Structure 1
Amino acid sequence: MLLIGNGNVITRQKENGFIKNGCVAIDGPLVKEVGSTDELKKAYPEAEFIDAKGGVIMPGFINMHNHIYSTFARGLSIVGFHPKNFTEILEGQWFKLDNELKNTTTYLSGKVAYLDSIRNGVTTMFDHHASYGETVGSLFELSKAADELGVRTCLCYEVSDRNGKDKMKEAVAENAAFIKEAGKRTDDMQKAMMGLHASFTLSDETLNYVRENTPEDIGYHIHVAEGTADVYDSLSKYNKPVVNRLFDLGILGKKSMTAHCIHIGPGEMQMLKDTDTMVVTNPQSNMGNAVGCSPALRFLNEFGILSGLGTDGFTNDLTESFKFANLIHKHHLVDPNAGWVEVPQMLFENNAQMANRYFDTKLGVLEAGAAADVIVLDYHAPTPMDENNCNSHILFGMNGRCVTDTVIAGEVKMRNREVLGVDEEKLYADSAQEAQKLWQRING
């Protein structure tokens, strides 16, 4: 039995959303009870106790769209790389990088990314992987890294035609193999999707092949209309918008997730709603790539599309995405009222709903029977904090590095900012050495 108490508990329950001097009782991988610190310490006097020291206790963050393979791009300078648009960014950096990734690189990038997630209070990560330098076994290397760090994760491999038919089929096979392996697990710690790059790098023949090799209970994780090139390609080649094309080819649905969806129209939004397809937006990445602002508020308010937040490889700190999402919609719409309700809804409610379309254990809330994915933050409010304004305290007063303790499935992964069971010095040394080799391969 484990107690995490002596802090302000943000439960995310509808009826009991905030508990002053609260405590979470954990039994195995699940929350057993939530209440006051005094009550639960009396009820479980022999339990191990993590003292939040007056800070904040809340559910771990869920990252709905990430690219672990981008880990070793940090600090990378590619000779002659001066992109003028998003297509040139993809071709000149990301495709070039993933073509040089080996399984050793994938494994170490996974270790670093999952470690960084723990440090930033991210307890569940949906990753979208690509490593055309070595595809076979790559998802299993990420799976190994996730198991070693103990982070809940859902993995897929990015199928694309950009490296030819054989490589495309290899990518489909890697997805299929990991889907089968993840299906054997009983611990609810790893799941799988069928990964797809984007409409403009996937032919009809390929998408039909992919669909034929995807189990009915598995959805697709695909980038949609992130840049205008995706829109123009679909219109010019198939005479239909991107979302319409994906609908016609059977890619949409309740278990499918579309990333970005920046350049789509009302008809496509309605199609996403009608098929109950999920959307995940990534504000920092979109700003960095200069591709535009997602119409996320329309998704939510006008169409009722289940929409969440991800980081798209830009960071492993969800509080950063929370802050950027709050700002980008106000800036884009020139409306200081934009996003106050919708952005917290995406991060704290919708991400959990989306993740629970794959994971069985209830995520994103601290209540009896929910996942014991709990984080403690070193934050002492200079003003009153309660259930009505706690999101503003997170927005303006907290960041990922405020996290002091991270518990995943009842296991303590970080205690007093020390990640347990990881030789960080060796990991970072090995990673730096591997990154140097990768950079040399990229620059010839």
Structure 2
Amino acid sequence: MLLLGEGTVITRDARCPIIKHGGVIIEGSVIAEVGDFETLQQRYPEAEHLDAHGGVIHPGLINVHHHIYSALARGLSFDNYAPKNFLEILEGQWFRIDQGLRNQETKASAVATYLACIQAGVTTIFDHHASYGEIADSLSVIAKEAKRFGVRSCLCYEVSDRNGRAAMEKAVAENLRFGKEANKDPDHLAAMMGLHASFTLSDTTLDYVVNKNSDQLGYHIHVAEDIADLEDSQKKYGLRTVERLYQKGILGDKTLAGHCIHIDDDEVKRLAETNTMVVFNPESNMGNAVGAPDVLKLYYSSVLLGLGTDGYTSDMFESYKAANCLVKHQSQDPNAGWGEVPEMLFNQNRKIAQRHFDLSLGILKPGAAADVIVIDYEPPTPMDETNINGHLLFGVNGSDVVTTISDGVVRMKDRKLQGMNKKDLLAEVRMTADAFWKRLKSQSEEII
């Protein structure tokens, strides 16, 4: 039994949002009690004390759209690469990287990403993976690292036509194989059927995927991220992107649609009526210059809308800040986003996660999963239940997380990784990345 405290406990439970001078009792992998620290000390004298140093105690964060495979791209550049649009970004960089990734590089990418998650207080992620250099067992390679670092992970492999029929079928098979593996450990792993985007998926392929998906895995797919996706769907099929996916049986309450930027009112209604989940990725949208979704329209159309990072970062506080600004900028309304964005991050991400994990996540209350973080933050102004999110928005970054607990296990304590050596881990990742970069740069441009 573990007593975490004393600190300001932000529970994300509407019945008791904040407990000053509070603590959390963890028994095994679940939370046993949340309350006044001194009272908990007296009630559980045998509990081991983990000092929160007066910081903010908060539920572990959830990222509902990540790309582990992008981790080795940091600092990488290609000669004569100057993309002018999103398709050139994909073809000149990301497709080139994922076509070269083998399981060795996938492992290194997972190590780098999960380390970053733990350091930023992220204890659950939904990842969308691609490694066409080696497809088989790639999701198991990631899952092994997910368990080692203690980050709950809903994984999928990206199905696409861009590498030919055989590779497409192998990608589908990898999703189905991993789905069976994830079912053996439902508290820590979940599976979806990964799909790249409408413009890289023919009708023949979508029919094949749906027919093979007898296990009825939910779909994780990029939707109308760039205008090219919409234009492709209209030109080839006479349908807008969301409607095409609907007619092919892709939408539904277990499906996660990334981005949804270039969609119209009818498509928003279709997403809502099918109970399809949508994820907003603000930094990626800005960085790729693809536009931004109408977040307020989606939100107020009863679409379950969450917040992700699309591989840009593992820091959800960073994504929170970017989302707050982009919603205001997009709507030209300085009052927009104050309530909607934190609702997406702290409540709707939790609801998305609970469609794939049969656990109470993202909340500190008895019976919930013991995923808890401590943030080194001392407010310079009064903090109470009415302004918690304002303090986190303007006062906290992922680097302020000092302690991360997941599944009741301390993964990082006072910024020190537990049971693993950070320096050694990163040295191995760098060595793998260096060899990978050299191999990529030596290969012909024809691999694009």
Distance, in Å, in 2 between the alignment partners of 1:48 and 1:340 is 39
Query: How far 1:216 sits from its partner (Å)?
Result: 4.5
Q: Does the CA contact (< 8 Å) of 1:356 and 1:362 recur in 2? A: yes
Distance, in Å, in 2 between the alignment partners of 1:441 and 1:271 is 44
Query: How far 1:74 sits from its partner (Å)?
Result: 0.2
Query: How far 1:439 sits from its partner (Å)?
Result: 1.1
Structure 2: tracts of 5 or more residues without a match: 443-448
Flag the 1:32–1:215 CA change in 2: closer, same or farther, 3 A.
farther
Spell out the pairing of 1:38-437 with structure 2 (5 A cutoff): 38-186=38-186, 188-301=187-300, 303-437=301-435
Q: Which one-letter code corresponds to 1:190 in the other structure?
A: L
Q: Does the CA contact (< 8 Å) of 2:156 and 2:175 recur in 1? A: yes
**Matched position secondary structure for 2:100:** coil
Query: How far 1:100 sits from its partner (Å)?
Result: 0.6
Query: How far 1:212 sits from its partner (Å)?
Result: 1.4
Deviations 1:212-241 (A, max 9, x none): 122444200000000001000000000010
Distance, in Å, in 1 between the alignment partners of 2:329 and 2:156 is 34
Q: Does the CA contact (< 8 Å) of 2:277 and 2:304 recur in 1? A: yes
1:12 aligned residue? 12
Q: Identity of paired residues, percent?
A: 55
Distance, in Å, in 2 between the alignment partners of 1:437 and 1:216 is 38
Distance, in Å, in 2 between the alignment partners of 1:200 and 1:343 is 29
Distance, in Å, in 1 between the alignment partners of 2:419 and 2:404 is 13
Structure 1: 4+ residue segments shifted above 6 A:
none
**Matched position secondary structure for 2:132:** coil
Distance, in Å, in 1 between the alignment partners of 2:57 and 2:426 is 29
Q: Provide the aligned length of Structure 1 versus Structure 2.
A: 442
Distance, in Å, in 1 between the alignment partners of 2:184 and 2:23 is 35
TM-score by length of 1: 0.99
2:436 aligned residue? 438
Deviations 1:25-79 (A, max 9, x none): 1111111111000110111111111121111001010000000000000000111
Q: Which one-letter code corresponds to 1:214 in the other structure?
A: N
Deviations 1:171-205 (A, max 9, x none): 0011110001111225x001110000000000111
Distance, in Å, in 1 between the alignment partners of 2:98 and 2:215 is 29
Q: Does the CA contact (< 8 Å) of 1:64 and 1:125 recur in 2? A: yes
Q: Does the CA contact (< 8 Å) of 1:217 and 1:255 recur in 2? A: no
Q: Which one-letter code corresponds to 1:142 in the other structure?
A: I
Q: Which moved more, 1:418-427 or 1:255-264?
A: 418-427
Deviations 1:257-282 (A, max 9, x none): 00000110000000000000000010
TM-score by length of 2: 0.98
**Matched position secondary structure for 2:168:** helix
Q: Does the CA contact (< 8 Å) of 2:294 and 2:330 recur in 1? A: no
Q: Does the CA contact (< 8 Å) of 2:111 and 2:429 recur in 1? A: no
